[in-house]
Amino acid sequence: MARDAKRTQKAAQKRRQRQQLVQQEKTRRRAQEQGHGSGAVERRMEDLPVEECVISKGWRERGLAHILLARDLGNGHLLVGGYFVDLLCVGLKDCAAIPRVEKDEYATKVKFSIFNDEVEFEPLEPGVARAVVEGAIAYAGELGFRPNRRWPEAQKVFRGIDPQPNGLEFGRDGKPFLVLRKGDNLQGAQARLQRKLPDGAYRIVDQRSVDGIDG
């Protein structure tokens, strides 16, 4: 009886070991094929080809840009960075990094609702996209505005892409230009400009009415 019990225990132990090895191999292959692990993706981020880079139409005139940068992970999946940028004053208002999304889902859902806005896009060079985002952040930083808290993560999507400023300008007519749009809560930004800058050094426009405030 003792020998039979030992044999049963050994057989059970071998089965468990085989199962563990099989599961480990499945996990390894899945990670290798899908590139799902964030560490693996980060290590090869700069080598990922750009699938698409787009910006909202009319962004230069509005001074407000929605930017999407999609990089190909392979196997029908994308790494996507989304950036909502105010080039006139406050910089990077919102951003997000989506580590893994199917191409069909990107095209039908993400591209048209990432910041809950309906946007018409046009193509943009990835280097210009990076210059727009980082330039707006730098300009806003001089005024005391910080980028969205998710920027450190979303910034990684630009790895391996050299910025191309191409004569980009921030502010308007050489001044910070704060636009108060419907639904915005920028009273703090308005107060900051008024405290930080001398008279005549900024302009505030309230699009909720037709009034402008010259600093």
User: Which residue has 């004569």 as its token pair?
Assistant: 167
**Structural domain that includes position 156:** 45-171
Closest C-alpha among 33, 74, 69 to residue 54: 69
pLDDT, residue 48, reads 94
- What's the whole-model pTM score? 0.77
Task: Judge if 204 and 165 occupy the same domain.
Answer: no
Task: Tally the domains of the chain.
Answer: 3
pLDDT, residue 213, reads 46
DSSP annotation of 63 reads T
pLDDT digits (tens, 9 = 90+) for 2-56: 556 666 666 666 666 666 555 545 444 444 444 444 455 565 778 899 999 999 9
Task: Judge if 135 and 210 occupy the same domain.
Answer: no
Closest C-alpha among 92, 121, 86 to residue 207: 86
Task: Judge if 82 and 162 occupy the same domain.
Answer: yes
- With respect to residue 25, please indicate whether it lies within any of the assigned structural domains: yes
- The residue ranking higher by pLDDT, 181 or 21, is 181
- pLDDT higher than 80, residue 183: no
Which residues contact residue 173 at a Cβ distance below 8 angstroms, ignoring those fewer than 6 apart?
Answer: 203
Closest C-alpha among 153, 165, 85 to residue 125: 165
- With respect to residue 84, please indicate whether it lies within any of the assigned structural domains: yes
- With respect to residue 209, please indicate whether it lies within any of the assigned structural domains: yes
Question: Side chain identity at 69, as an amino acid letter?
Answer: L
Three-class SS state of 45: helix
- The residue ranking higher by pLDDT, 213 or 123, is 123
Task: Judge if 176 and 107 occupy the same domain.
Answer: no
Mean pLDDT (the chain) is 83
Q: Which residues pair with 72 in a beta bridge?
A: 78
- With respect to residue 39, please indicate whether it lies within any of the assigned structural domains: no
Task: Judge if 50 and 136 occupy the same domain.
Answer: yes
Dihedral Cα 145, 88, 96, 46, nearest 10 deg: -100
Residues 42-54, buried b or exposed e (16+ Cβ, 10 A)? eeeeeebeebbbb
Dist. CA 176–CA 214, nearest whole Å: 11
Task: Judge if 92 and 131 occupy the same domain.
Answer: yes
Dist. CA 30–CA 192, nearest whole Å: 50
DSSP annotation of 75 reads T
Task: Judge if 25 and 129 occupy the same domain.
Answer: no
Task: Judge if 166 and 183 occupy the same domain.
Answer: no
pLDDT digits (tens, 9 = 90+) for 103-113: 999 999 888 88
pLDDT digits (tens, 9 = 90+) for 6-20: 666 666 666 666 665
Task: Judge if 142 and 187 occupy the same domain.
Answer: no
- The residue ranking higher by pLDDT, 135 or 5, is 135
- With respect to residue 40, please indicate whether it lies within any of the assigned structural domains: no
Task: Judge if 127 and 208 occupy the same domain.
Answer: no
Task: Judge if 22 and 61 occupy the same domain.
Answer: no
Share of the chain above pLDDT 70, in %: 76
- The residue ranking higher by pLDDT, 118 or 134, is 134
